[in-house]
Amino acid sequence: MNSTVQAVLAATATFFLISALFAFICLVCKSSKARSRSHNHQPLPQRQTRGLNGHRTVPNSHLSSITIDESATFDPTLNRISMEELKIATKNFSADLIIGDGSFGFVYKATLSDGVTVAIKKLDPDAFQGFREFRAEMETLGKLQHPNIVRILGYCVSGIERVLIYEFIEKGNLDQWLHDTSPGSEQLGNLPLSWETRIKAVRGIANGLAYLHQLDTPIIHRDIKASNVLLDSDFEAHIADFGLARAIDGSHSHVSTQVAGTMGYMPPEYKEGVTAATAKADVYSFGILMIEIATAERPNLPMVLEGKEMGLIVWARKMLEQNKHMEMLDSKMAKEGLREEKVEEYFGIASMCTREIMMDRPVMSEVVHLLDRLAT
């Protein structure tokens, strides 16, 4: 056999060998893809979820990762209530029973089959934050026992639906009592709160926060504001809405990449890029709330002083510098018998809590002590 024939035969053999190898590789890849499709059935669609800064898209796989075995860390004493019972109690979540608009969900007043009147928060199933809020509340609020913190009684998990059931607090939230000027609100009993009642509410909030901050694993609420404080029939304050709450470690901070809270109540360090959850951030928000409770002015709206617009905290500092603390008080509130030195002391505590430098603010246990002295 001459060299030409040998070369042709060698080239032909090489061609068939490479072709066979290529066909084998294609067969393996096709088989792998088929197995993948059999496990996943079909590609999961993406769900639009509403975030704090508008809309963003979160793959469904992110949502499902939260739901897997999520009840494992919940308080076993909490009641798991069926969606069927909740639909009956709320008349299929009728708008007529809505008593509030919590973060990422409406709150309904309803009576369960055992006759207990409760507040039911149905979280938005399309909001990724709703899933996070459900887990945060179940893992924090479910384990807390304090007279100034709202109690969670049960929950419901049904498909993608998440519902939280709380004790019903009769008088609604503090924001309504401070700012509700709608026609007929006074006929419903929403008269301006007395100074004594405002002090009582402030002390209750302070006690609740001090309890949270002094736990073995401290909890930072991160969204202290008037609408997250509920008042019972005796006007005792109950801190609510723990959807943004975080437990912190021994360093007393929680690393976070997102700013949490509500405009007007957030501490100045957030503007400097500090996003860690700290107890001193709660203290600042509490100080702002103290000013709001006394003045009935909203922290997120501008104030006017000497023809200039400014934020509530800047206005308060300027007014206190001019010794105008009595003029700062809610104009609708009765002031007969009110002691001026007590008002000055009150705003002094609020000023301590809202100091610009985080480390200069007192801890909540110290604030409780100062408020106890104020009430005597």
Other C-beta atoms lying within 10 Å of the C-beta of residue 58: 17
pLDDT of the residue at 52: 29
* 225 vs 103: CA distance, rounded Å: 12
169: β partners: none
pLDDT of the residue at 150: 95
pLDDT of the residue at 218: 93
pLDDT of the residue at 183: 47
16, with CB counted inside 10 A (0-12, 13-18, 19+), is exposed
pLDDT of the residue at 37: 41
310: β partners: 303
pLDDT of the residue at 143: 79
State the catalytic residue, choosing from 124, 223, 241, 282.
223
Task: Extract the annotated binding site for ATP.
Answer: 122
Which of 334, 328, 293, 330 lies closest to 176 in space, CA to CA?
Answer: 293
pLDDT of the residue at 170: 93
Domains and CATH numbers, the chain: 79-167 (3.30.200.20), 172-180+190-375 (1.10.510.10)
Locate all alpha helices (DSSP H) within 154-278, ordered by sequence: 174-179, 195-213
Q: Helix, strand or coil for residue 80?
A: strand
Task: Give catalytic status of residue 175 as yes or no.
Answer: no
Instruction: Return the H-helix or E-strand segment holding 106.
Output: strand 105-111
Q: Mean pLDDT for each 10-residue chunk of the chain (376 residues)?
A: 55 60 56 43 35 31 39 67 95 93 83 94 74 77 89 90 93 93 52 93 98 94 95 96 79 52 88 82 97 97 94 96 96 92 97 96 98 90
Q: Helix, strand or coil for residue 187?
A: coil
Task: Extract the annotated binding site.
Answer: 122
Q: Helix, strand or coil for residue 245?
A: coil
